[in-house]
Amino acid sequence: MSLATRLKPLVDNWNRPFWDACAEGRLTLQRCKTTGKCFFPPAPVSPFTGRPEWDWITASGKGELWSYVVFHQSYFPGMKDELPYPVAMVKLDEGPFLMTNLEGMSAADAKIGMRLRVRFPGGPDGFFLPQFGPEGEAA
Amino acid sequence: MSPDSPIAAPALGDAWPMRDKVAFAGIGTTRYGNFPETDSYGLGCEALNAALDDAGLKPSDIDGLIVNRIPTYERFAEMMGINPQYCLLTEAPGRFSGVSLALAAQAIQSGAAKTIALVYGNNGRSNRMMYGGGDSQWSPWGMTSPGATHAMMWRRHMHQFGTRHADLGHVSKAFRDHACLYPAAVMHGKPITLEDHANARPICEPLKLLDYCLINDGAVAWIMTSAERARDMKRPPVLLSGYARQDAFHYGSGPADDLWYPNLSATRSVYDRAGFGRDDIQGLGIYDNFSPTVLLSLEGLGFCKQGEGGAFVRDGMLALGKGRWPTNTSGGHLSDSYMQGWGIIAECVRQLRDDCEGRQIPDVQAMQYICATNIAQSLILRRDS
């Protein structure tokens, strides 16, 4: 088992461009035209104004580890072999948070506040799930 | 998530027109455990009958009905032979126990109904309810379950304030000790030590098994009516003195990056609404789906400063007969029964009617309930004097 046996993302009209960009190796975010602030998950309107005035931007793909957990309980058959697995909450430099996994490092080496960078090693059925590892290492 | 949305706190000191107007006239709880021979309807009927007996009422006296975790209000009303003028099914998360209470109070105060039965029934244990898994925003990354959300926030709390996992042991142990005083509690007769808490099986680290609530079958019913009507009923009324709520949905898709501190802090207005302060309260009911929420609640409501929750509970502060703030005296969700706030509020009512025997808080005049979620709430109940 691997990223290929993960659950597929729930794709909707708002996040489809996000997943298309992931397949091209780019992390994208919606940016509010009025405030210049980014938001995630993708939505029909900016949460800062309530208006449908936003652009897609390619994010830096960098951020810091805000917190993390390690799952010991099995909830997903396709992840059973990964147990225990970490889930990291990453605060992107653009502001929004992502839940993701640690790639190229173990949870034992995780330190809150450490710099991380995105990579797209794979995913289920043609999807590429953003994963995060140390900023300094090649993605 | 938009991390910096401001929380609009209710104006402190605003007059609250509901103060002491609505009362609990009866409560009923079932046995707690694993009951595959019944279901949430059967358990709900059992609890409601207990509450009706407690209040000295019959089903035809009920003209309002709110059900929770029971599949449909129609079928439940049909079963109990109730044809109300006000009826509602509320959402499943435990924050809706307090929301349901507030809705009932508003309905009574506005005249929409006179006497409301609120019935919660849960057969999650015999039903093998799984809190986690399935499709969601974050499931491709394996992020699921309310426990994981709390684990994520607690790890951050430890990092930010220097709290430790061991601090949570004092919460779990205090509530287990209380359950050992309450024969109906699921964990009655099963004491734990701080070492048991520290060495428990990890579920979603940093949280371990004894930081998690139980999953069991059972039901709770409350009968609420006006204070005036309640005074003519069988048991002494317990008055709703104050209720405050502040929602925060800007992190609805993930763990709260502000640890719910701003919206919890906003509910400190509950004291002004009740017309008395913390010093006049003798005990607490805190929504403990996971042990960290107890510390977040105490910090948010100002019992201690933010980040000092661990130190605050370390010397038995929450323990009956020892600390200033006996909390969840029947054992809470961690050790009595996972009735999603309904049972904790029922225990506050029992305390205020001196029904608690070996776990009675001496000379109790008022109890405060706190629920730390994205719908932060606090309410104060008191004796009718």
Query: B92 vs chain A: nearest CA distance in angstroms?
Result: 20
Establish whether the linkage from the previous residue to B206 is cis, with ω within 30° of 0: yes
Measured at the CA of B23, the angle between CA B109 and CA B39, to 5 degrees, comes to: 100
Q: Chain B partners of A124 at a C-beta cutoff of 8 Å?
A: 140
pLDDT at B77 over 90: yes
Q: Among all residues of B, which ones are annotated catalytic?
A: 287, 338
Query: A136 vs chain B: nearest CA distance in angstroms?
Result: 23
Q: Which residue has the tokens 């909830």?
A: A75
- DSSP run (H or E) holding B219: strand B218-226
pLDDT at residue B252 in the model: 67
Q: Is the CB of A95 less than 8 angstroms away from the CB of B3?
A: yes
Q: Is the CB of B141 less than 8 angstroms away from the CB of A89?
A: no
Q: Is A128 on the interface with B (CB under 8 A)?
A: no
Q: What is the largest CA-CA distance in chain A?
A: 46
Is the ipTM above a cut-off of 0.95? yes
Percent of chain A with pLDDT over 70: 97
Model pLDDT for residues B335-361, shown as the tens digit of each residue:
999 999 999 999 999 999 999 999 999
pLDDT at residue B253 in the model: 74
**b/e map B52-81, b = 16+ CB within 10 Å:** bebbebebebbbbbbbbbbeebeebbeebe
pLDDT at B6 over 50: no
Q: Is the CB of B140 less than 8 angstroms away from the CB of A47?
A: no
Query: Which domains, from first to last, does chain B contain?
Result: 22-127+216-230 (3.40.47.10)
Q: Enumerate the β-bridge partners of residue B356.
A: none
pLDDT at A45 over 50: yes
| Mean pLDDT, chain A, whole residue set | 95
Model pLDDT for residues B41-56, shown as the tens digit of each residue:
999 999 999 999 999 9
- Out of A72, A99, A113, name the one closest to residue B143 (CB): A99
Q: pTM here?
A: 0.96
Contact between residue A113 and residue A120 where contact means Cβ atoms under 8 Å apart: no
Taking CA–CA distances from B150, the nearest residue in chain A reads A69
Model pLDDT for residues B245-297, shown as the tens digit of each residue:
999 998 767 899 999 999 999 999 999 999 999 999 999 999 999 999 999 99
* Alpha carbon separation from B211 to B217, B292, B332 (Å, rounded): 19, 8, 12
Taking CA–CA distances from B204, the nearest residue in chain A reads A71
pLDDT at B319 over 80: yes
Band of pLDDT at residue B220, cut at 50, 70 and 90: very high
* Alpha carbon separation from B232 to B53, B130, B235, B237, B312 (Å, rounded): 15, 44, 9, 9, 42
Q: Chain A partners of B255 at a C-beta cutoff of 8 Å?
A: 67, 89
Q: Is the dihedral of CA B1, B2, B4, B7 positive or negative?
A: negative
pLDDT at residue B133 in the model: 85
